[in-house]
Structure 1
Amino acid sequence: MPFLDLPRFDTALAAALNAAQPQVDVTFYSKVSPNQLPQRLQKWLTAIEQSGGSLEVAPPPGDLAPRNPVLLLGLLGGLWSTLKAWGEIKESHMLQAAAGHHVTLQLNRSADGEIVIERLVFHRVAKAP
Structure 2
Amino acid sequence: MKQILVYLLAALLFSGCVASTPTKTQSELENLSFMDTSVFDQNLSESMSADTENINVAITGPVSINQIPKRLGKWLSMVVDKQGRVNVEPKTNTKVLGAVLGLLPTAYSFLKEEWSYGSVVNYNATIFYEPETGLIKKVVFTKRRDAQDFATD
Bin for the TM-score computed over the shorter chain: 0.7 to 0.9
Alpha-carbon distance in 1 for matches of 2:74, 2:39: 14
Is the CA contact (8 Å cut-off) linking 2:89 and 2:95 kept in structure 1? Answer: no
CA pair 47-30 structure 1, distance change in 2 beyond 3 A: same
Alpha-carbon distance in 1 for matches of 2:90, 2:116: 27
- 1:99 alignment partner, SS class: helix
1:9 maps to: 40
**Quick one: which amino acid aligns to residue 101 of structure 1?**
Y
Q: Of 57, 70, 76, which residue of structure 2 is paired with 1:26?
A: 57
Is the CA contact (8 Å cut-off) linking 1:24 and 1:121 kept in structure 2? Answer: yes
Unaligned runs of 5+ in 1: none
CA pair 64-14 structure 1, distance change in 2 beyond 3 A: closer
Identity in percent: 23
CA pair 108-28 structure 1, distance change in 2 beyond 3 A: same
Q: Of 65, 68, 75, which residue of structure 1 is paired with 2:102?
A: 75
How far did residue 90 of structure 1 move?
2.5
How far did residue 116 of structure 1 move?
1.1
Q: How does 1:47-58 map to 2 (within 5 A)?
A: 47-58=78-89
How far did residue 69 of structure 1 move?
3.2
How far did residue 74 of structure 1 move?
8.1
CA pair 22-74 structure 1, distance change in 2 beyond 3 A: closer
1:77-129 deviations in whole A, cap 9, x for unaligned?
Answer: xx21x2x22x1x233223312111100001125xxx41211100000112368
Instruction: Tell me the number of residue pairs that the alignment of Structure 1 and Structure 2 aligns.
Output: 116
Unaligned runs of 5+ in 2: 1-31
- 2:135 alignment partner, SS class: strand
